[in-house]
Amino acid sequence: MTHGLWRSSYTVLCGPYASYGWGAAVRHRLRGVIVTIDGVAASGKSSVSGGVASALGIPYVSSGLLYRAATLLALEAGLDLHQTADLEAAVLQELARHTLVLEPLAAGNRVWEGQREITERLHSTRIDKGVSIIAVMPRVRAWVDDQLRALPAPFVAEGRDMGTAVFPEASAKFYLTASPRIRAERRAKERPEDIPAIEAALTRRDELDRAQIAPAPDALVIDTGPLDLQGVIDLILSKLALSNSALSKPTHQTS
């Protein structure tokens, strides 16, 4: 059983994480724990978070999907992201008119607008281009933060400001980087544009996101350039195993 909010205890007690020396108390210990993985655009946050969360047997939460969903609603409402007077109020009105739900499955996050699943529509060049304009709005950020803080821990949270603004009390924090060229080469497998165009768009997005992309002072910064995906996941798992005592302190109190 690998789907749903919780994976079976087999994964936690006997799966890959067991090789890091965790005993039978691990499931109990992870109650209330939040691990944050922030980083620049296309640095591998969601792939790495999925791998780490799977190994731990807990869900991961992709905060960027909520900003992407707010952007989709704005575009579907016909809002011009560059011309609309009081765009923030117009976006909040769209958020109030629709019910957006983030489903943080361990196997991959999904987003629903009412009964309509919109996940597939959130990773397009059009959304990539518009999302930073929406994400800079304080009241949109407050709306996203409220959704995230309402989720039951334990989970791995990924985004830009998970370890700084949203969950400053997180048990363990990581921050992923890689050069714009490497990130563009990886992303080119998922987008129709060529590598220079993707690189320019990623650099532009990092610039627009600069207010929220500083690493937390207590985050471990990982340059993923020389590492493959599994290498990054293994590095984080090994650091978590070493900081065993940090994970024994729940981020959120649980009953």
Ligand X SMILES: Nc1ncnc2c1ncn2[C@@H]1O[C@H](COP(=O)(O)OP(=O)(O)OP(=O)(O)O)[C@@H](O)[C@H]1O
Ligand Y SMILES: Nc1ccn([C@@H]2O[C@H](COP(=O)(O)O)[C@@H](O)[C@H]2O)c(=O)n1
Binding-site annotation, residues for ATP: 39-47
- Which residues, listed in sequence order, are joined to residue 37 by a DSSP beta bridge? 158, 174
Helix axes 180-187, 195-208, angle to 10 degrees: 120
Which of 243, 244, 239, 255 has its CA nearest to residue 48? 239
> Cα–Cα distances in Å, from 228 out to 52, 81, 172, 182, 233?
14, 36, 22, 11, 9
Among ligand Y, ligand X, none, what does residue 63 contact (CB within 5–8 Å per kind)?
Answer: ligand Y
Range in contact with ligand Y (rule: CB under 6 A) among 78-86, 155-163, 168-176, 191-199: 155-163
Least gap, CB of 8 to ligand X (angstroms): 25
Range in contact with ligand Y (rule: CB under 6 A) among 29-37, 48-56, 106-114, 129-137: 129-137
Residue closer to ligand X, measured from CB, 26 or 118: 118
Least gap, CB of 234 to ligand Y (angstroms): 22
Question: According to the binding rule CB under 6 A, does residue 160 interact with ligand Y?
Answer: yes
Which positions touch ligand Y (CB under 6 A)? 41, 45, 63-64, 67-68, 131-132, 135, 159-162, 205, 209, 212
Which positions touch ligand X (CB under 6 A)? 39, 41-47, 64, 186-187, 189-190, 224, 227-229, 232
